[in-house]
Amino acid sequence: VENVRLLDRLSSRKAALGTLYLTATHVIFVENGSETRKETWVLHSQISSIEKQATTASGCPLLIRCKNFQVIQLIIPQERDCHDVYISLIRLARPVKYEELYCFSFNPKLDKEEREQGWKLVDLNEEYNRMGIPNNYWQISDVNRDYGVCDSYPTEVYVPKSATAHIIVGSSKFRSRRRFPALSYYCKENNASICRSSQPLSGFSARCLEDEQMLQAIRKANPGSDFLYVVDTRPKLNAMANRAAGKGYENEDNYSNIKFQFIGIENIHVMRNSLQKMLEVCELKSPSMSDFLWGLENSGWLKHIKAIMDAGIFIAKAVAEEGVSVLVHCSDGWDRTAQVCSVASLLLDPYYRTMKGFMVLIEKDWVSFGHKFNHRYGNLDGDPKEISPVIDQFIECVWQLMEQYPCAFEFNERFLIHIQHHVYSCQFGNFLCNSQKERRQLKIQERTYSLWAHLWKNRADYLNPLYRSDHSQTQGTLHPQMAPCNFLYKFWSGMYNRFEKGLHPRQSVTDYLMAVKEESQQLEEELEVLRERLANLQKSQLNYNEVNSKQQDRSKQLGLSTSNNSLANTPQEYSNDLKSFPSRSPSQGDEEDSALILTQDNLKSSDLDLSANSDQESGVEDLSCRSPSGGGCLPSEDSGKDSDEAVFLAA
Amino acid sequence: MEFAELIKTPRADNVVLHRPFYLAVEGTLCLTGHHLIFSSRRQDNAEELWLLHSNIDSIEKRFVGSLGTIIIKCKDLRIIQLDIPGMEECLNIASSIEALSTLDSVTLMYPFFYRPMFEIIEDGWRSFLPDQEFELLTSVTDEWRLSCINKEFSVCPSYPPVVIVPKSIDDEALRKVAMFRHGSRFPVLSYYHKKNGMVMMRSSQPLTGTNGRRCKEDEKLINATLRPGKRGYIIDTRSLNVAQQARAKGGGFEQEAHYPQWRRIHKCIERFNILQESLIKLVEACNDQSHNMDRWLSKLEASNWLTHIKEILTAACLAAQCIDREGASVLVHGTEGTDSTLQVTSLAQIILDPRCRTIRGFESLVVREWLQAGHPFQQRCAQSAYSNSKQKWEAPVFLLFLDCVWQILRQFPCSFEFNEQFLIMLFEHAYASQFGTFLGNNENERSKLKLPQKTMSLWSWVNRSEELSKFQNPLFEANSLVIWPSVAPQSLQLWEGVFLRWNRPSKFLDEANEEMFNIIKYNKELQAKVNALRRQLAEMETDDRMQENL
């Protein structure tokens, strides 16, 4: 469709004219005119809702909301076209078969071996070995070999050595969806562990000997402690209501030596509505400070984030400080339990704060234990009531921790944002389906690629420059402030307003420091070369011409290094009064904006003379042209810069 | 008066000091004329706490048996608690602190007694003189002149002795204009935008009154700043409603009929007690440790602090936009032209002028646009967030300005030569200081108090390399562009460095800053080494060549 206008949400004056394309996998908007032909790519699987609004004089508006929080507002001149696009998108955004998803057609031009290699990057058995398991207390169990006991669990589960197959099967029959207690994290320093399960089918009075033995076995696997925490992550009221349906929670009288604890995290429906409310606030057009803060509070979002963090902190404390094992469950044990176990692991073990470790953590607590990715993130058309931002909340918890511990994580914010993006993108097979069983049936590993390999390949983009493996923040357990520090939880505009670049800091400290570090590395190399050359020169005085020319090459190379000098920064609409100023008739509106940007570019080049006041010889000029603005070089998976993707589509 | 009269108990032993995030420490408390000194005698960790009496905002006392407790709330927002054994000692100390922290005579303040322990390299009182500023101006334009009309502070008591005005307007006209403006604050030059020759001026409101008085000289003066055929903007920092109401009290605003070349824009920036209450509410919310997440956000919202930040920044951005983008000159005023006006003119300069983002340039900005421009520091900063007395003149106008600067700094972390600590330091010294810089309400008072002769300037201390290194931003790279901050609520944050400074553990953030510093330091060292080697190589090569030629 031609002559479509893409509106800028922040400023109604800026609208880009271009052509809209629909392909089998993407919506693509290509701007007319400008030589750059700016492109906006949106994966169908990212579309969360499409809204056709009332036709106006200028055309028919179409509003596309995406699961990665992008909001696209198009105006299509012809009502008919708009309707066609709308109908097509509704169908395309709601695939009914897995085979329709992007990952089955996505081909990053890797051969079979590379693909297999990619899937092997994260190996959970290796991870349990890293924890020190199997050992005297824990072993791998093949009781779920053919998914015979629990179809949402992995085939390989780690259980206490003293838990026989009989106990496990017995316990599984007493647990919702047969999700029996299994090991999530083991702390080899003090033998304390985190186990996870679903709620017991206790109703008002039911008991199960095997289940009691199972918990006993978990407690005994930690000989240093004489009790076990059982943490129910639901609000008490919800758990009690479940008793009427024959479910419920552990009765302290029936289980020997447990301490039972509720930590109220709301259910998926509350969370879905909360996010919805927060996104409405984010979408407000020029909100006042009160609108924003009031809306943020009203959404309850940060309160929920804090509840998840508090639960994670409680468990990490029990394990690290008290040396007590913890069994965590909620209702089915695949949402809140996954959030809480992974937050606790992240606090406890610095390994999970590395890039590789974080991939392992998601693979362990989310993918393998049957977090229902397909249902929660609506990959296939399904029940909208099943959709909920469960992993989004976990990802935000990590970001909140990163804000409090800037040196503790090997990866940066971008890493989190890209993982969130790919949970919804269906470009890689990792997060398909609802369980390991389904993924194996679909032969995901043979037919799709792994996100982890993709991220690992580009890991330079995701590094936190402040991370040092020998820094104190990267050692041991993190102890976040518990109760009163509510103000530590902040709105994450980098995620929820991620596509409104105008709202973010215009200069990225992370990118700047990465550039500096990269340059330091080059300098180190050059220093080596120079030293060598100097030594040679001192020995024999030959070949200086060659040396000289080489040196010049070097310095040129260095000068080019990391410069990216686009501070494309234009003022917002600070006042509505300005627009109607009478004396400026000829150049108003859109033209004016582009003209202004041009003048700024001109200004920039002329101003370089001012800033580059360093002498050419010293090499300081290398620094002065390295602008910290990361704007243009962000690897943005949706702007179509991914060359692999482009190749695929051209073919 | 002798301070000794006020100090009944100069010293108390076995006092316990409580601070958030620190273990309680036992030690000795001493009172001097200007300080409260707490020193712990613990062998392993001897430490001293020196607190200026003038930093104390309020004090509370409590008794449990014979153990007295004093809670001291400071103007820098810190709260400490001292447990003092002995009821009498405790009462004596409390009353002494109360008396010493509320001295009513300026000349009894610490700056008049402070003797610097550092070598003075540069006298800060002479670091930023109007003549130097004017010299810079004359290198780019000759349309302005330095007027000494206010030499004896006879025309405008809150203006400095010399001001910059359009060349075409003589002193006689200025006198008439002064009669037409509130507090005689006639329009003067605030900023000259080199890029396009546009200017920003500031003044107070015109005294039009209800019957629409006009003053030809005033019109002529501000029109003199316009290029032929061009128009300008008047940014009134009050809402239209407030401006209209001001007419009843003799004030008012510029009527279109009399200023046809000017377009007036009203922006609503709050004043005095509204700001003070906002600060009090905000600090209360930050110190409230009991509430849950919902209460925190609603209290933050109810304080309105961030709303004020947004309004001030928006007005400043608007002024900058008029100048840089619309190519128009701007006149900014509110009522008196000593508060919101200065917030707008100084922030606009930070947006427009890269010089103001350097340490020295920022100091110069504070001197020009706040101290010399007659912001009444002594009245505004007499009390801070914990004061019980509701006096009319207190308002965190300068703190709001610093907060706005911090917001821009946060959005452009590489464009400022100074860091957050620099801004926090200025906040502290504006409220309590050993230096005379922020004493008095205007240049007139400062000269009567003979501050340059009798006290030390803050700038003398700051501008030494030992101190400067603490305030330098390692990420700084000169950015000669105009920087347009975002004023969307998502982009504005609570300034934790000030408001949560004493309520949050800062260890991890400090470590991050240190790490950042080291990364850059290492880079610079490497560069120096590489350059040295390159030079050495080049020299050896030329030597070689010379030998060969021989």
B50 touches B35 (CB < 8 A):
yes
Confidence at residue A619, expressed as pLDDT on a 0 to 100 scale:
27
Q: Is A639 annotated as a binding residue?
A: no
Of B103, B121, B145, the one marking the end of a domain is B103
B62 touches B485 (CB < 8 A):
no
The reply to whether A51 falls in a domain is: yes
Average pLDDT estimate for A406-427: 95
A331 and A391 inside one domain: yes
Probe site for chain A from B290, B293, B484 (most A CB atoms < 10 A): B293
The reply to whether A397 falls in a domain is: yes
Probe site for chain B from A478, A488, A507 (most B CB atoms < 10 A): A507
**How do A15-22 and A4-7 pair as beta strands?**
antiparallel
The reply to whether A316 falls in a domain is: yes
Per the structure, how many domains does chain B have?
2
> For B527, which of A293, A523, A627 is closest by C-beta distance?
A523
The reply to whether B407 falls in a domain is: yes
Q: Is A334 annotated as a binding residue?
A: yes
The reply to whether B519 falls in a domain is: no
Residue A586: is the preceding peptide bond cis (ω within 30°)? no
- Count of alpha carbons within 13 angstroms of residue A497, beta-carbon side: 23
Question: What is the spatial distance between Cα B348 and Cα B334, in angstroms, rounded to a whole number?
Answer: 16
Instruction: Tell me, yes or no, if A509 comes closer than 8 A to chain B by beta carbon.
Output: yes
Instruction: Round the average pLDDT of chain A to a whole number and report it.
Output: 82
Closest residue of chain B to A303, computed from CA coordinates: B293
Q: Do B267 and A575 touch (CB under 8 A)?
A: yes
Instruction: Round the average pLDDT of chain B to a whole number and report it.
Output: 93
The reply to whether A409 falls in a domain is: yes
The reply to whether A450 falls in a domain is: yes
ipTM over 0.85: yes
Contacts A308 to B, Cβ<8 Å: none
Q: Is A8 annotated as a binding residue?
A: no
A83 and A120 inside one domain: no
Of A463, A495, A512, the one marking the end of a domain is A512
B277 and B417 inside one domain: yes
Nearest CA to A92 out of A145, A38, A26 is that of A26
Q: Where are the beta strands (DSSP E) in B89-162?
A: 144-147
Compute the C-alpha angle B469/B471/B472, nearest 5°: 70
At B89-105, the pLDDT tens digits run 999 999 999 999 988 89
Nearest CA to A494 out of A385, A598, A421 is that of A421
Report how far apart, in Å, the C-alpha atoms of A138 and of each of A74, A128, A164, A371 are.
57, 10, 12, 24
* Residue labelled with tokens 């179409």: A62
B74 and B222 inside one domain: no
B98 and B154 inside one domain: no
Q: Do B508 and A507 touch (CB under 8 A)?
A: no
What number of residues does chain A have? Answer: 651
At B470-518, the pLDDT tens digits run 999 999 999 999 999 999 999 999 999 999 998 887 888 999 999 999 9
Nearest CA to B331 out of B423, B420, B225 is that of B225
Alpha-carbon gap: B491 to the closest alpha carbon of chain A (Å)? 5
Burial code of A462-494, b = ≥16 C-beta within 10 A, e = fewer? bbbbbbeeeeebbeeebebeeeebbbbbbbbbb
B305 and B252 inside one domain: yes
Instruction: Tell me, yes or no, if B542 comes closer than 8 A to chain A by beta carbon.
Output: no
Q: Which of residues 321-350 of B touch A (CB under 8 A)?
A: 321-322, 325-326
Catalytic (active site) residue A330: yes
Question: Residue A40: which pLDDT band, with cuts at 50, 70 and 90?
Answer: confident
Question: What is the spatial distance between Cα B272 and Cα B242, in angstroms, rounded to a whole number?
Answer: 14
A442 touches A103 (CB < 8 A):
no
B475 touches B418 (CB < 8 A):
no
B427 touches B55 (CB < 8 A):
no
Average pLDDT estimate for B323-335: 95
Alpha-carbon gap: B404 to the closest alpha carbon of chain A (Å)? 14
Probe site for chain B from A11, A523, A538, A614 (most B CB atoms < 10 A): A523
Tell me which DSSP letter residue A320 carries: I
A188 and A226 inside one domain: yes
A294 and A399 inside one domain: yes
Q: Is A333 annotated as a binding residue?
A: yes
A83 and A206 inside one domain: no
The reply to whether A559 falls in a domain is: no
Instruction: Tell me, yes or no, if A625 comes closer than 8 A to chain B by beta carbon.
Output: no
Instruction: Tell me, yes or no, if A630 comes closer than 8 A to chain B by beta carbon.
Output: no
Question: Residue A31: which pLDDT band, with cuts at 50, 70 and 90?
Answer: confident
A118 and A69 inside one domain: no
Confidence at residue A579, expressed as pLDDT on a 0 to 100 scale:
41
At B30-49, the pLDDT tens digits run 999 999 999 987 766 678 99
Confidence at residue B461, expressed as pLDDT on a 0 to 100 scale:
96
Instruction: Tell me, yes or no, if A536 comes closer than 8 A to chain B by beta carbon.
Output: no
Residue A301 has pLDDT above 60, yes or no: yes
Confidence at residue A121, expressed as pLDDT on a 0 to 100 scale:
94
The reply to whether B449 falls in a domain is: no
Task: Give residue B51's domain range.
Answer: 3-103
B229 and B377 inside one domain: yes
Confidence at residue A596, expressed as pLDDT on a 0 to 100 scale:
28
CA end-to-end distance (rounded Å), chain B:
85
Task: Provide the edge-to-edge strand list for the sheet that holds A71-76.
Answer: A39-43, A26-31, A15-22, A4-7, A71-76, A60-66, A47-52
Report how far apart, in Å, the C-alpha atoms of B269 and of each of A372, B29, B249, B275, B489 are.
51, 44, 20, 10, 17
Cβ-in-10-Å burial (0-12, 13-18, 19+) of A275 comes to: buried
Nearest CA to A68 out of A102, A92, A44 is that of A44
Question: What is the spatial distance between Cα B254 and Cα B182, in angstroms, rounded to a whole number?
Answer: 13
A13 and A151 inside one domain: no
Instruction: Tell me, yes or no, if B550 comes closer than 8 A to chain A by beta carbon.
Output: no
Closest residue of chain A to B494, computed from CA coordinates: A487
| Active-site pick, A60, A208, A330, A341 | A330
Confidence at residue B66, expressed as pLDDT on a 0 to 100 scale:
83
Report how far apart, in Å, the C-alpha atoms of B20 and of each of A401, A478, B25, B50 are.
21, 20, 12, 17
A457 and A321 inside one domain: yes
> For A473, which of B296, B309, B508 is closest by C-beta distance?
B508
Q: Element (H or E) spanning A71, and its range?
A: strand A71-76
Confidence at residue A12, expressed as pLDDT on a 0 to 100 scale:
54
Per the structure, how many domains does chain A have?
2
A631 touches A457 (CB < 8 A):
no
Instruction: Tell me, yes or no, if A409 comes closer than 8 A to chain B by beta carbon.
Output: no
The reply to whether A626 falls in a domain is: no
CA end-to-end distance (rounded Å), chain A:
21
Confidence at residue A582, expressed as pLDDT on a 0 to 100 scale:
33
Q: Do A527 and B300 touch (CB under 8 A)?
A: no
A39 touches A46 (CB < 8 A):
no
Q: What is the CA radius of gyration of chain B?
A: 26
Contacts B483 to A, Cβ<8 Å: 506, 569
Alpha-carbon gap: A539 to the closest alpha carbon of chain B (Å)? 12
Q: Is A330 annotated as a binding residue?
A: yes
Task: Give residue A313's domain range.
Answer: 112-512
CATH number for the domain including A27? 2.30.29.30
Q: Do A289 and B306 touch (CB under 8 A)?
A: yes
Q: Is A142 annotated as a binding residue?
A: no
How many CB atoms within 10 Å of residue B111? 23
Name B17's bridge partners.
B25, B82
Tell me the percentage of chain A whose pLDDT exceeds 90. Answer: 61
Instruction: Tell me, yes or no, if A624 comes closer than 8 A to chain B by beta carbon.
Output: yes
A292 and A249 inside one domain: yes
Average pLDDT estimate for A485-492: 79
> For B519, which of A483, A516, A584 is closest by C-beta distance?
A516
Contacts B475 to A, Cβ<8 Å: 509, 512-513, 628
Q: Is A267 annotated as a binding residue?
A: yes
What phi, psi does B197 have (nearest 5°)? 75, 10
B98 and B172 inside one domain: no
Question: What is the spatial distance between Cα B149 and Cα B151, in angstroms, rounded to a whole number?
Answer: 6
Question: Residue A553: which pLDDT band, with cuts at 50, 70 and 90?
Answer: very low
At A582-624, the pLDDT tens digits run 332 222 222 223 222 222 333 233 222 222 222 222 222 222 2
A324 touches A192 (CB < 8 A):
yes
At B254-280, the pLDDT tens digits run 999 999 999 999 999 998 889 999 999
Confidence at residue B17, expressed as pLDDT on a 0 to 100 scale:
94
Question: What is the spatial distance between Cα B322 and Cα B344, in angstroms, rounded to a whole number?
Answer: 13
Nearest CA to A207 out of A243, A261, A251, A244 is that of A251
What number of residues does chain B have? Answer: 550
Tokens of B62: 């409590």
The reply to whether A648 falls in a domain is: no
